[in-house]
Structure 1
Amino acid sequence: MASSSAVLLVLVSTLILFSPSLSQSSNSTTRCNPNDFKALMQIKQSLNNPYQLASWVPNTDCCKWYAIECDPDTNRVSALSIFSANISAEFPAAVGDLTFLRTILFRKLTNLTGSIPSSLTKLTDLRTLTISHTALSGAVPDFLSHLQNLQILDLSHNQLSGPIPPTLSALPKLQSIHLDSNHLTGPIPDSFGRPVGPAPDLYLSRNRLSGQIPSSLGSVSFDTIDLSRNMLVGDASMLFGEGKTSVRVDLSSNMLDFDLSNVRFSRKLVTLDLSHNRIFGSVPRQLSQVDTLMGLKLSYNRLCGEIPVGGKLQSFGSSAYVHNKCLCGPPLPVKCNKRI
C-alpha cells in the first residue's frame, strides 16, 4: 500500500512539473527582458492604455504582443510598430528605453501629439524611424544625426515646423529622407549636396521651403528627388544631366525660373514633373531619346517652340504641355509656323 502511494506521489509531482498550464505562469515572461518589459509598460501607460495594446499584460510573453517583434537570438525587442490606432497622447519618451530597437513605426495616429523626444538618441542600432500621419509638432531635431545606423527617416505628414537641420547629411547609411507634408520653412540645407554616404532619396514636398536650390545638389545624383509644392526660386538645371541616375524628379508648383532648352536628362528617368513654374526656353530634343520615360508634366510654364517629335513625347497627351507661352505641335492642337 505504501509503495502504491509513493508511486502516485511521483506521478502527481511529474504532472505538476511538466504541465504547460502550470509551468507557463512561472516561465511565460522568460523571453521578455525585464528592462524591455518595464519600458513597454511605461509606453502603454503614456499612451493612455489604448485597446490596441490590450495584449500588453504581465505574465505573458511580450515577444508575442501586438506591435512587437523580438530578435530571435537575443529575445530583445527589435521592432515597435503601431498604426491606424485611436490614440490620443504625446509621443512616449520611454520608447528610447527599448535600447535594442531597430525599427520604430508610428503611422496614422492622428491624435498623437508632442515632439520627438531626445531619448531616441539612446537607440544606437535604429535602422528605420517612421513617425508619419500624426499630429506631432515642433522641430525636426538636430539630435537625429546621432543615429548613425539610420537608413530610413520618415517624418512625413505631421505638423513639424522650423528649418531642416543640415546635420541630417551626416548620417552615413541614410537611404531616404521623408519630410514631406509638414510646415517646414527656410532653405534646403547646402549640406544635402555633400552627404557622408550616397545621396538618399529626398522627399521635401508640401512644405514652405524657400530660396534657391543649393548648387551643391548638382554634385550628387538623387535617384528620387521631390521638392514640389514649396516656394523655391531660381535655377534647378544643376539637378539634371545625362550622366545622372535620377529616376523620379518632381519640382512642380514652385517659382523656378531657368532655361530648359539645353538641359539634358538621365537615361534612367521614369517620371519628370516641372509643371506650375516659370521655366522658359524650349523642350530639349534629347528628352525624346529617354526611352524609360513613363510620366511627363511641363504644363503651366513659359516654354516656346515645337515639341520634338519622336520617342514618347507625344504619348503623354496635350495635358503635359498646356498653358505655356507658345509651345506648338503634337500633341497640342496648336500648329507650328515659321514665326514661332
Structure 2
Amino acid sequence: MESTANVRHLDLSSNRIGREIPGLEKHHYLHSSHLFSYSALLLANNRLSGAILTSFCSASSFSVLDLSFNNWSETFDVSNNNLTGKLPKSLGNCKSLALLNVRNDDFEGSFPCMLPLSLRILVLRSNRFHGDLRCSKSWPNLQILDISLNNFSGNVEPLNFSSWSGGIPDAIGNLSSLYLLNLSRNVFTGGIPESLGGLTELGSLDLSSNKLTGRIPHELTELGFLSILNVSYNDLTGMIPIGRQFQTLSADLFEGNAGLCGFPLDRSCSRPPRGPSEPEDDSMPSESKVGEIE
C-alpha cells in the first residue's frame, strides 16, 4: 500500500460521509499530520455539517480544496486571501449560513443571489464583482451589507429590493434589521432612495465615491442611531438636510460634491450652488477647493 507521505490527492467526494469535520478528523487520512500533505482534498457531495474546520486554513500545500454540496452552517470566512474565480453556487445549500465574508480576495462575477435567506452578514468588499444587482429575493435577517470597492453599477432610484435591477434598491428600506450598509467605491448612479430613511436601526451608511446625483433625502434625518453618513465624492446637489444626527457629522463626509451647500460645509446656500461642471464665478467670493480622493 502506498504510504500517505506520497499521496498528493485524496478524493472522498460523493460518499455518505456525515457529521462535523472535527469528528471526521478521526479518519486515518484526515489526521492533521496527514491533512497538510495533500495538494488536493475533495470532500464534495457528502453530508458534512456544522462549521468548516479552521485548520484547513493552515494547510498551505492545498492547491485544490473542494467542500461543495454539503450542509455547512454558521459562518464562511475566507477573507484576506488570494482566492479567485466565482463564488460556488453550492453556498445556497447552506440553509443556516449567517455570515459570508470574502473581503480582500479576488473573486469576480455578479451578485451572489443564491445565498440563503438565513444570511445576517454579507461582506464582498474589495473584490471584482460587477454588473447590475439582479435578484429575485431579499434577505429579511440581513444586518450588515458591505459590497464596497467593487464594480457594481446601475441606477439607484426606481429599484425594488426583491427584484434588483441596477443599483441601490429603493425597497432596501424594508430591511429593518440593517445597521451597516456600505456601497462605496462602485459606479452607482441616480439619486439616493428616500426609503433608506426607513432603516431605523441603521448606524453607518457609506455611499461615497460613486456617481450619485440629486439631493440628500430629508428622510435620512429620521435615523436616530446614525453616527456615520458618508456621501463624499459623488455629484450630489442642494442643501444638506438639518436635523438630528446630521448636526454631528463632519464636513469631510460631504466633500467632493461641488453642488452641496450648508452645514457642516463652509458653503452658504444663500445662492444656488455650482453644478459639478460649472466654473466658479469670479464675481463672488472664492470657495475652498474640494480635494480629490487618493
TM-score (norm 1): 0.61
Distance 1:242 1:124, change over 3 A: closer
Structure ID, larger Rg: 1
Distance 1:201 1:286, change over 3 A: same
Q: Is residue 205–residue 228 contact of structure 1 (8 Å, CA) maintained in 2?
A: yes
The alpha-carbon deviation at position 325 of structure 1 amounts to 3.4
The residue aligned with 1:249 is: 181
Structure 2 unaligned residues grouped into runs of 5+: 1-22, 155-166, 274-294
Give the letter aligned to residue 336 of structure 1.
C
Q: In 1, distance between residues paired with 2:245 and 2:108?
A: 37
Distance 1:237 1:255, change over 3 A: same
The alpha-carbon deviation at position 213 of structure 1 amounts to 1.8
Pair 1:119 & 2:43 matched: yes
1:23-172 → structure 2 map (5 Å cutoff): 36=26, 38-39=28-29, 42-45=31-34, 47=36, 117-119=41-43, 124-130=48-54, 143-146=67-70, 148-172=71-95
Q: In 2, distance between residues paired with 1:276 and 1:133?
A: 36
Q: Is residue 46–residue 69 contact of structure 2 (8 Å, CA) maintained in 1?
A: no
Q: In 1, distance between residues paired with 2:137 and 2:261?
A: 33
Q: Is residue 189–residue 213 contact of structure 2 (8 Å, CA) maintained in 1?
A: yes
The residue aligned with 1:201 is: 121
The alpha-carbon deviation at position 151 of structure 1 amounts to 1.1
Distance 1:138 1:303, change over 3 A: farther
Q: In 1, distance between residues paired with 2:234 and 2:130?
A: 19
Q: Is residue 302–residue 325 contact of structure 1 (8 Å, CA) maintained in 2?
A: yes
The alpha-carbon deviation at position 166 of structure 1 amounts to 2.8
Identity %: 23
Q: Is residue 237–residue 258 contact of structure 1 (8 Å, CA) maintained in 2?
A: no
The residue aligned with 1:264 is: 196
Q: Is residue 223–residue 245 contact of structure 1 (8 Å, CA) maintained in 2?
A: yes
Pair 1:223 & 2:143 matched: yes
Q: In 2, distance between residues paired with 1:166 and 1:139?
A: 17
The alpha-carbon deviation at position 149 of structure 1 amounts to 4.2
Give the letter aligned to residue 43 of structure 1.
S
Report the secondary structure of 1:184's partner residue: strand
Q: Report which of the two has the higher share of helix.
A: 1
Q: Is residue 237–residue 260 contact of structure 1 (8 Å, CA) maintained in 2?
A: no
Q: What is the Cα-based RMSD across aligned positions, in Å?
A: 3.1
Distance 1:135 1:224, change over 3 A: farther
Aligned residue pairs, count: 237
Report the secondary structure of 2:26's partner residue: helix
Q: In 1, distance between residues paired with 2:61 and 2:226?
A: 37
Report the secondary structure of 1:257's partner residue: strand
Distance 1:44 1:243, change over 3 A: closer
Give the letter aligned to residue 240 of structure 1.
I
Q: In 1, distance between residues paired with 2:253 and 2:50?
A: 42
Residue in structure 1 matching 2:216, options 268, 280, 283: 283
The alpha-carbon deviation at position 163 of structure 1 amounts to 1.2
Give the letter aligned to residue 181 of structure 2.
V
Report the secondary structure of 1:36's partner residue: coil
Q: Is residue 280–residue 303 contact of structure 1 (8 Å, CA) maintained in 2?
A: yes
Distance 1:35 1:170, change over 3 A: closer
Pair 1:315 & 2:266 matched: no
Residue in structure 1 matching 2:260, options 320, 327, 331: 327
Distance 1:239 1:168, change over 3 A: farther
Q: In 2, distance between residues paired with 1:137 and 1:207?
A: 22
Give the letter aligned to residue 178 of structure 2.
S
The alpha-carbon deviation at position 245 of structure 1 amounts to 1.7
Between the two structures, name the one with larger relative contact order (CA 8 Å, sep ≥ 6): 2
Q: In 1, distance between residues paired with 2:86 and 2:179?
A: 27
